[in-house]
Chain A
Amino acid sequence: MSEVISEQKRKIHPHKFTLWVAIGSILMMFAGLTSAYIVKRSQASWLMIEIPMMFWYSTATILASSVTVQLALKALKKREMINYRRLLLVTAVLGVLFIALQVAGFSQFAAQDIRLIGAGSNASYSFLLAISGLHGVHVLGGVVALVVIAIRALNSSTRSYSSVPLEIAATYWHFVDALWIYLFIFFTWMK
């Protein structure tokens, strides 16, 4: 088995490679947005953003979900299928919870009478919404991927023990996690 693995390691699976290129592409999108933010910030009528407390909780949630997806991968490789499915679903639920907490964070602004969109809104908060919103869409994409993998794992007719799909999903999951950490630090730093 060690031979097979070492042979495998020499050549990356094409789908995994594709994911890495896709990650580069998504990074460009957020690089575009955050540099637009920096440009805009130096111009007149910029409001200092106050990061809602809720974002700290959502950050903790997405960090935790990265751990669970890694544990799921470990469980799959050890063939602990019950554990694997459970961890997979926990990860997906944490992903949904992350988005819910983000939404809750944004609703705090409404309570403080800060407009994110519409008349009287300021580009600074609109940026926060647009960038975090786009990040949320990417998290949702990851949740869909995890759910598809979970359904396949529960479906007895196509029993697959290949770890490649989950490895790809896990890499993506860690990526959206790291991306959020970057955005979080970015927003805290560059208010």
Chain B
Amino acid sequence: MSSETISHGHAAEASVHSHDSHEAHGHDHHHEESFLSKYVFSTDHKMIGKQFLITGIIWAIIGGLFSVLFRLQLGYPEMSFPVLEDLFGKWAAGGRISNEFYYALVTMHGTILVFFVLTAGLSGTFANILIPLQIGARDMASGFMNMLSYWFFFLASVVMFASLFIQTGPASGGWTIYPPLSALGQASEGSKLGMDFWLISMALFIVSSLLGGLNYISTILNLRTKGMSMTRMPLTMWAIFFTAVLGVLSFPVLLSGAVLLLFDRNLGTSFYLSEIVVKGEILPNEGGSAILFQHLFWFLGHPEVYIILLPAMGMVSEILSVNSRKPIFGYLAMVGSLFAICILAFLVWAHHMFVTGLNPFLGAFFVLLTLLIAVPSAIKVFNWLTTLWRGNIRFTPGMLFSIGFVSLFISGGLTGIFLGNSTLDIHLHDTYFVVAHFHIVMGVASFFGMFAGVYHWFPKMYGRYLNNTMAYIHFWVTLVGSYLIFWPMHYSGLAGMPRRYTDWSNWQSFNQFQDMNRFISTVAMIVFAAQLLFVFNFFYSIFKGRKVTSTNPWGANTLEWTTPINPGHGNWPGDIPEVHRWAYDYGKDGREFIPQTEPIGADESKH
């Protein structure tokens, strides 16, 4: 036995995980792959990223369509749409969406977009595609775990999708699934089998997220190429790193909460249930606490917001800098503010619970910590704006969406200051003001980050460009449409219009908003159509898009643009390049950009 194998198991281990690519992965790596191993059970991070992206797109269409359906009901409460009855049968009897089905649609819309699209579809996609390419690695720390991460997501998707078709319908207690409603099958149709499917699907989803997150952290910390110190990494990597840390620390807590809920549902325990009467029946449960679930849920739920938002922030920072032809302003401040957001994310969960009877004294601390998030957020906005300031801006579609992100983040962030105050929250809680706030700052803003990423890195993924005309139409309709949809909701929210109602027509106080509701619904349909245009553009361009002819089409500094136009498994045909500088040497010493791989010149100025 040679001493190498004794202390260093790599050679022997390679026989087992042949795709574990932290080994020196052979040079031109072109062994024949079958369709299955290339496109389905792939361990190549780029293919897994594309799998996440396309699954996410399919989910986004479903989740988006659900919102169009319930907007139809909200905007036109007096009209009936016979086509709905054809499609949904008893759930839309007479062409009107039933109350139960409305709840199911809202719940599924939230669940799908928060978890399946903006968590898996966003960070799953870009963490997989970008991490090895931007830090200079052949693949993830464990390609096998990475593959498992996608397939657990796929299984979760199958279970969640199946729940749409069961007789009693999918879960319908809201995406936050508060007990006791979600714990008691007799309380609502959606709390029967649909809720079990929801919990099983989410458990699988959490496993997927954890497998992915462990891999991202481990890869970023261990597999950086020579010279790639942590402070030379592009901000996308920092953002994805913090996202993964948040996920790894918060998802297990949600799992704990979900396990206890499964116990309550199926084994008759009383973790969350106490002294309940349902439909005249007195339940035997006593001594449980429904608030306990809310604590466990929001301990994940709040970091989840940043799990969605941070990757978008990272990509936007990168794209703004590349397309302003200027270094990112305040690189270390950007990293520091990401870190600050990451810490604060764990300390503010109770601001979702101000009206649950939380001790006002305790509430004061949560108000303070919540408002503190404004500080790192403001640092980020300031740095984005100063990066743009006097830049030589190229308005590529990716750049437009990045600027759109900054705009939405500012608008949505400001209303967060309103909601973070426990006194104002007494009035605003559960109104459309909240709906408007989180849709703009978390939903649409993250979508903009995601679109920016897709437009910017599409050439790297498929070796082709997306069509620019369609991209510009997509951008303007989406940006204008998002503001038209969500801005008016602030007004109805301030007036006290509550969420989770199918119909306000008999509610005198809110009759005045009927025209506005119709307007919002109409715009929502137009915006949804624009998203379908993007989907068409995406799939059309994979096959027919304009071909990329140079390896570095955007003139960017980062390592992914040093790979061939269509990189194989292993990314670089030869040695992995060495890194000599940070990722943001744009417009320096009279040169437009200096890639990270270029050694520092003798008389180069400091950045």
Chain A residues near B (Cβ < 8 Å): 1, 4-5, 8, 11-15, 17-18, 21-22, 24-26, 28-33, 36, 39-40, 43-46, 77, 79, 116-123, 126-127, 130, 134, 152, 158, 160-165
CA distance A162 to B11 in the complex (A): 8
Specify which of B5, B9, B253 is in contact with A29 (CB 8 Å cutoff). Answer: B253
Q: Tally of A-B residue pairs with Cβ under 8 A?
A: 150
Specify which of A18, A160, A165 is in contact with B15 (CB 8 Å cutoff). Answer: A160
Among the stretches B191-199, B268-276, B593-601, the one at the interface with A is: B268-276
- Give the most central of B8, B250, B252: most A CB within 10 Å: B252
Q: Is the CB of A164 within 8 A of B3?
A: no
Q: State whether the Cβ of B125 lies closer than 8 Å to any Cβ in chain A.
A: no
Specify which of A11, A127, A130, A158 is in contact with B222 (CB 8 Å cutoff). Answer: A11
**Nearest-neighbor residue (CB-CB) of B257 within chain A:** A32
- Give the most central of A44, A118, A121, A158: most B CB within 10 Å: A121
**Nearest-neighbor residue (CB-CB) of B252 within chain A:** A29
Chain B residues near A (Cβ < 8 Å): 1, 3-10, 12-13, 15-16, 22, 141-142, 145, 210, 213-215, 217-219, 221-223, 248-253, 255-257, 259-260, 263, 267-271, 284, 286-289, 292, 295-296, 299
Query: Nearest Cβ distance between residue A32 and chain B, in whole angstroms?
Result: 4
Contacts of A12 in B (CB 8 A): 222
Q: A127-B271, A160-B13, A162-B5 are in contact. Are A40 and B253 (CB under 8 A)?
A: no
Query: Nearest Cβ distance between residue A157 and chain B, in whole angstroms?
Result: 10
Contacts of A130 in B (CB 8 A): 259-260, 263, 269, 271
Contacts of A79 in B (CB 8 A): 1
Contacts of B5 in A (CB 8 A): 161-162
Q: Is the CB of B268 within 8 A of A40?
A: no
Q: Is the CB of B292 within 8 A of A1?
A: no
Q: Is the CB of A14 within 8 A of B15?
A: no
Q: A1-B6, A25-B248, A120-B284 are in contact. Are A126 and B141 (CB under 8 A)?
A: no
Identify 12 residue pairs between A and B in the complex whose beta-carbon atoms are under 8 Å apart, listed by A's number.
Answer: A1-B3, A4-B3, A15-B218, A22-B214, A122-B270, A123-B287, A126-B269, A134-B259, A160-B12, A160-B15, A160-B16, A162-B5
Contacts of A31 in B (CB 8 A): 253
Q: Is the CB of B256 within 8 A of A29?
A: yes
Contacts of B288 in A (CB 8 A): 123
Q: Is the CB of B263 within 8 A of A161?
A: no
Specify which of A18, A118, A120, A162 is in contact with B215 (CB 8 Å cutoff). Answer: A18
Contacts of B15 in A (CB 8 A): 158, 160
CA distance A121 to B263 in the complex (A): 12
CA distance A164 to B14 in the complex (A): 12
Contacts of B214 in A (CB 8 A): 18, 21-22, 25
Contacts of B248 in A (CB 8 A): 21-22, 24-25, 28
Contacts of B287 in A (CB 8 A): 43-46, 122-123
Q: Is the CB of A22 within 8 A of B270?
A: no
Given A25-B210, A160-B9, list of 8 further CB < 8 A pairs?
A: A4-B8, A18-B214, A18-B215, A21-B214, A28-B252, A30-B256, A119-B284, A130-B263
Q: Is the CB of A126 within 8 A of B289?
A: no
Query: Nearest Cβ distance between residue A89 and chain B, in whole angstroms?
Result: 20
Q: Is the CB of B16 within 8 A of A126?
A: no
Please give me the 10 A-B residue pairs with the lowest Cβ-Cβ distance, nearest first.
A162-B9, A29-B252, A32-B253, A45-B287, A1-B3, A118-B268, A164-B9, A14-B141, A126-B269, A117-B267
Query: Nearest Cβ distance between residue A124 and chain B, in whole angstroms?
Result: 8
Specify which of B16, B217, B286 is in contact with A45 (CB 8 Å cutoff). Answer: B286
Q: Is the CB of B270 within 8 A of A121?
A: yes
Query: Nearest Cβ distance between residue B506 and chain A, in whole angstroms?
Result: 40
Q: Is the CB of B263 within 8 A of A117?
A: yes
**Nearest-neighbor residue (CB-CB) of A117 within chain B:** B267
Contacts of A14 in B (CB 8 A): 22, 141-142, 218-219, 222-223
CA distance A130 to B8 in the complex (A): 40
Query: Nearest Cβ distance between residue B318 and chain A, in whole angstroms?
Result: 25
Contacts of A24 in B (CB 8 A): 248-249
CA distance A13 to B263 in the complex (A): 38
Q: Is the CB of A118 within 8 A of B267?
A: yes
Q: A22-B210, A25-B210, A28-B249 are in contact. Are A4 and B296 (CB under 8 A)?
A: no
CA distance A11 to B391 in the complex (A): 41
Contacts of B268 in A (CB 8 A): 117-119, 121
- Give the most central of B9, B15, B257, B295: most A CB within 10 Å: B9
**Nearest-neighbor residue (CB-CB) of B273 within chain A:** A123
Contacts of B289 in A (CB 8 A): 39-40, 43
Contacts of B210 in A (CB 8 A): 22, 25
CA distance A164 to B12 in the complex (A): 10
Contacts of B7 in A (CB 8 A): 1, 4-5, 8
Specify which of B4, B141, B218, B299 is in contact with A4 (CB 8 Å cutoff). Answer: B4
Query: Nearest Cβ distance between residue A19 and chain B, in whole angstroms?
Result: 9
Contacts of A30 in B (CB 8 A): 256
**Nearest-neighbor residue (CB-CB) of A43 within chain B:** B289
Query: Nearest Cβ distance between residue A165 and chain B, in whole angstroms?
Result: 7
CA distance A5 to B5 in the complex (A): 11
- Give the most central of A28, A45, A116: most B CB within 10 Å: A28
- Give the most central of A26, A32, A134: most B CB within 10 Å: A32
Query: Nearest Cβ distance between residue A41 and chain B, in whole angstroms?
Result: 11
Q: Is the CB of B267 within 8 A of A17?
A: no
CA distance A164 to B6 in the complex (A): 10
**Nearest-neighbor residue (CB-CB) of A22 within chain B:** B214
Query: Nearest Cβ distance between residue A18 and chain B, in whole angstroms?
Result: 4
Contacts of A134 in B (CB 8 A): 256, 259
Contacts of B250 in A (CB 8 A): 28
Contacts of A164 in B (CB 8 A): 9, 13
Query: Nearest Cβ distance between residue A37 and chain B, in whole angstroms?
Result: 10
